[in-house]
């Protein structure tokens, strides 16, 4: 097939772009794109080279490993090349890998060693007569950097092998990484000292190993796991990789405890799924798993291509980080008065889901990370954790960008004081504006600390009005749990959802402690609402406001005990209330229905069982008749409740 000009130009663009990002990642420890974005560039170039073999040149990054070298260190020529690994992203990729193994090795049982793919820095360690004599980075695969002095500061790595029986000369290979707890402490110290923080543990580990002064490396919390051997006497090598790892463990070399032998595609995928579920709980970052043929004789038969062995493959997890553009920053107003900035993003697939929104936590976080509208940003998502903006790429931002400023205040007390929420009679919009403008209140909890002397300073508020307002505030202290939850202003939690949460949890403490899975298990609570609820109760500001409200005397009576909802007389029945009732307000009618297990909705549909009608019922009654749904006059409704 003839190579088109478009393919030639795109391949050239990709080579330049990949070379740039390789240098940023491997040499400068300052990546400008996520691992997933880099993998996508490599995959695109690989596809082009497979479609048009004429495009494959000796200097293509698909034929190379790693990046350039830091000239501050001496160069080390590896005794055997340190190859990279082919990547797999799907079950189909693993099936293809397995099929290639079977074609080459026959139908005999194939055993693979499955292990976590650590997100750190690959190193080579040379031991002579059991003593560590040299350590080097992978570099470009052929030549690395001499980092012996820095490696000697890592407590996990033995300077002298233990036990006996080791060869006179051997090379082991593994990954230097920074555990998450150590990374957190390192960044906290950097923040306290006003220094630049690291973007992630991998960058921190790489930067620590490339310190000219090894005393700096010694202060960094680095660890090491061995994943195999390099130069090694053939007569001393066991027949299997798994046996070698056990031997190295006896000599004092750290081996990852998660390693497992598998003998089938399903075994590979089971290991992958299990480790992906446990990924957030591991003490270190991983970005996938690696499968390696166990038998060394089979590895020799399989051989290698230019940059990767045919006997191993890396099965990558869905990206936990991805690059996208920040479209806008919206300020979500918790009805308690909390202002929470939320990033609106161009849709991006990260952590197994498509993300369009991410939390920015607070104004201080935006300022510290220098995040601006229009920026290219790195979005991070781990497991079920709410997506967040990890960092921006300032060198790619438009010239017209300006720093983001949070609003100084927001009069959200209007919602809190409304009739269906806490119901503070006499607390109108203009009065709230005065209280906020004069900084007499900052959150809704401050309303309960207002005094006659404070109120006397307000415009157009006489003594009688002040007294009435204070009485209304005092009366509002006694509320109900559903009203309190509605008043808090949790995003997407209205009156119905507030009642649903109150009925399910029965107390505030259990609701505040609920995780995503617990919330989603409640009927009519979907993933989006569950995330908003969980996020709300994770915000320190919201917790502080709730504490102050309770300290200022806001309370509610315990919900009465009642049978399970499925045993209640109206369980599963859906009601719509319309028109003006004589003996009930709309709220009282709804509460009476839900107390008996029914559900109240605002619109009539085929799923509606009853429409309760008062005076002037309007179009909802007409629609109910069209759909053949029973209409209940108020008298019939009362009989239904009593019966």
What are the catalytic residues?
A: 117
- Is the sign of the CA dihedral 621, 626, 627, 629 positive or negative? positive
Between helices 495-505 and 586-595, what is the axis angle to 10°?
Answer: 30
Reduce the DSSP state of residue 370 to 3 states and report it: coil
Longest distance between any two alpha carbons in the chain, whole Å: 99
- The DSSP output letter for 27 is I
Stated length of the chain = 643
Q: Alpha helices, DSSP H only, in 23-179?
A: 35-51, 91-105, 148-151
Is 572 exposed, middle or buried (CB count within 10 Å of its CB: 0-12, 13-18, 19+)?
A: exposed
Q: Alpha helices, DSSP H only, in 316-462?
A: 363-369, 413-416, 429-437, 452-455
Q: 24 and 37 in contact (C-beta within 8 Å)?
A: no
Q: 620 and 578 in contact (C-beta within 8 Å)?
A: yes
272 φ/ψ angles, rounded to the nearest 5 degrees: -60, -50
What is the Cα Rg of the chain in Å? Answer: 32
Q: Alpha helices, DSSP H only, in 61-169?
A: 91-105, 148-151
Distances 249 to 157, 226, 262 between C-alpha atoms, Å: 12, 9, 20
Reduce the DSSP state of residue 222 to 3 states and report it: coil
Burial 107-127 (b: 16+ CB within 10 A, else e): eeebbbbbbbbbbbbbbbbbb
Closest CA to 263 of 139, 43, 112: 112
Distance (Å, rounded) from C-alpha 29 to C-alpha 201? 11
Q: 186 and 199 in contact (C-beta within 8 Å)?
A: no
275 φ/ψ angles, rounded to the nearest 5 degrees: -70, -35
CB atoms within 10 A of CB 308: 19
Distance (Å, rounded) from C-alpha 535 to C-alpha 384? 12
Is 14 exposed, middle or buried (CB count within 10 Å of its CB: 0-12, 13-18, 19+)?
A: buried
Region label for 58, one of left (φ > 0), alpha (ψ between -120 and 50) or beta (otherwise):
alpha
Give 549's Cβ-side CA count (13 Å radius): 28
Closest CA to 89 of 46, 47, 40: 40
Distance (Å, rounded) from C-alpha 40 to C-alpha 426? 60
Helix (H) or strand (E) holding 248: helix 241-250
Distances 57 to 45, 52, 322 between C-alpha atoms, Å: 12, 11, 29
Please enumerate in sequence order all residues whose Cβ is within 8 A of that of 492, keeping only pairs 6 or more positions apart, or say none: 528, 529, 532
Distance (Å, rounded) from C-alpha 478 to C-alpha 493? 21
Distance (Å, rounded) from C-alpha 268 to C-alpha 262? 6
């Amino acid at each position: 097939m003839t190579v088109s000009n478009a393919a030639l130009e795109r391949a050239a663009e990709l080579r330049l772009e990949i070379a740039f990002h390789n240098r940023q990642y491997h040499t400068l420890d300052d990546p400008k794109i996520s691992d997933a974005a880099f993998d996508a560039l490599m995959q695109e170039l690989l596809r082009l080279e497979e479609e048009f073999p004429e495009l494959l040149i000796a200097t293509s990054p698909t034929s190379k490993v790693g990046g350039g070298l830091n000239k501050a260190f001496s160069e080390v020529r590896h005794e055997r090349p340190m190859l990279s690994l082919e990547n797999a992203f799907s079950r189909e990729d693993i099936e293809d890998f397995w099929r290639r193994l079977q074609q080459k090795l026959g139908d005999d049982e194939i055993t693979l060693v499955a292990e976590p793919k650590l997100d750190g820095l690959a190193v080579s360690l040379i031991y002579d007569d059991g003593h560590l004599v040299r350590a080097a980075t992978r570099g470009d695969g052929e030549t690395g950097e001499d980092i012996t002095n820095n490696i000697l500061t890592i407590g996990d790595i033995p300077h002298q092998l233990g036990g006996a029986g080791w060869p006179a000369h051997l090379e082991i290979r593994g990954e230097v990484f920074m555990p998450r707890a150590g990374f957190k402490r390192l960044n906290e110290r950097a923040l306290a000292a006003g220094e630049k923080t690291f973007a992630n543990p991998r960058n921190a580990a790489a930067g620590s190993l490339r310190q000219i002064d090894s005393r700096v490396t010694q202060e960094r919390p680095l660890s090491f796991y061995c994943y195999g051997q390099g130069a090694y006497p053939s007569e001393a090598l066991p027949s299997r990789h798994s046996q070698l790892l056990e031997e190295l463990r006896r000599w004092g070399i750290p081996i990852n405890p998660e390693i497992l032998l598998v003998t089938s595609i399903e075994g590979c995928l089971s290991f992958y799924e299990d480790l992906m579920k446990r990924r957030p709980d591991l003490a270190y970052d991983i970005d996938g798993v690696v499968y390696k043929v166990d038998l060394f004789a089979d590895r020799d038969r399989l051989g290698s291509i230019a940059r990767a062995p045919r006997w191993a493959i890396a099965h990558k997890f869905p990206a936990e980080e991805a690059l996208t553009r920040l479209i806008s920053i919206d300020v979500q107003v918790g009805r308690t008065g909390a202002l929470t900035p939320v990033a609106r993003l161009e849709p991006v697939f990260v952590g197994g889901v498509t993300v369009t929104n991410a939390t920015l936590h607070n104004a201080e976080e935006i300022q510290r990370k220098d995040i601006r509208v229009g920026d290219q940003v790195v979005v991070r998502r781990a497991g079920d954790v709410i997506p967040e903006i990890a960092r921006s790429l300032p060198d790619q931002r438009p010239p017209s960008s300006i720093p983001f400023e949070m609003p100084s205040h927001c009069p959200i007390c209007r919602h809190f004081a409304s009739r269906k929420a806490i119901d503070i009679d006499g607390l109108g919009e203009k009065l709230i504006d005065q209280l906020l403008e004069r900084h007499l209140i900052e959150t809704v909890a401050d309303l309960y600390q207002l005094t006659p002397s404070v109120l006397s300073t307000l415009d157009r508020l006489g003594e009688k009005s002040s007294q009435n307002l204070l009485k209304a505030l005092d009366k509002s202290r006694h509320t109900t749990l559903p009203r309190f939850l509605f008043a808090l202003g949790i995003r997407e939690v209205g009156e119905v959802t507030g009642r649903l949460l109150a009925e399910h949890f029965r107390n505030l403490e259990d609701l505040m402690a609920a995780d995503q899975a617990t919330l989603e298990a409640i009927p009519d609570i979907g993933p989006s609402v569950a995330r908003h609820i969980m996020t709300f109760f994770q915000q320190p500001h919201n917790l502080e406001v709730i504490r102050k409200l309770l300290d200022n005397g806001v309370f509610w009576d315990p919900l009465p005990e009642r049978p399970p909802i499925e045993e209640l007389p109206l369980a599963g029945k859906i009601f719509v209330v319309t028109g003006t009732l004589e003996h009930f307000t709309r709220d009282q009618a709804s509460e009476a229905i839900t107390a008996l297990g029914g559900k109240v909705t605002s619109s009539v549909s085929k799923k509606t069982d009853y429409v309760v009608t008062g005076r002037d019922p309007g179009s909802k009654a007409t629609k109910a008749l069209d759909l053949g749904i029973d209409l209940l006059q108020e008298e019939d409704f009362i009989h239904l409740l009593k019966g």
